[in-house]
Amino acid sequence: MRLFIFLFALCIISSVSAFNWEPTDAYAIKFSTAKAEGTFTDLKGTIDFDADDLANANFDVSVAAASINTGNNTKDKHAIGESWLDAEHFPRISFQSHTFRESGDGYIVDGQLTIHGKKRPVSIPFSFDDNVFHGELSINRRDFGIEGPFLFGGLVGDDVMVSLQIPVK
């Protein structure tokens, strides 16, 4: 689940406001499932965001699938293997925004999330305060063709929670 958090964070890192925002090194993209959790690094992309001009906002971000870090090298190698992320054939996890809208105290960005070569529409609720994007997203790994049943010492649930925290400057 935290894998998707990383993806959202990746989308938010590049630019914010009518300005071209750049993420700082303090970003966090986390994922968690019933049996695993970790983070992704190597976030790249563009974020253009101005709360007063949502029609021209854009997130185009990606993260290296092989940058997964569970705190266990054996688990990391298994996670990037063919049964899971297959980082050799699908090196990047990406998000491309389509539309933005206000929602309560924050925003929702609709776009295409690509994992394991499969594109799926997603809506990501987020906030932007003090130059930090915060968001959370739940995805089903099987929607993206990730079928591997065993990882990290046992059966891994289908739902993955992704949390994002992306400071920008």
Q: What is the pLDDT of residue 52?
A: 93
Q: Which residue has the tokens 């966090």?
A: 28
Most confidently predicted of 23-27, 51-55, 142-146: 51-55
Between the two ends of the chain, the Cα-to-Cα distance in Å is 27
Confidence grade of residue 8 (pLDDT, cut at 50, 70, 90): very low
Q: What is the residue extent of each domain of the chain? A: 2-167
Q: What is the mean pLDDT of residues 24-29?
A: 50
Domain 2-167 has CATH 2.40.40.20: no
Q: What is the pLDDT of residue 131?
A: 87
Beta carbons of 90 and 68 less than 8 angstroms apart: no
Q: What is the mean pLDDT of residues 100-125?
A: 97
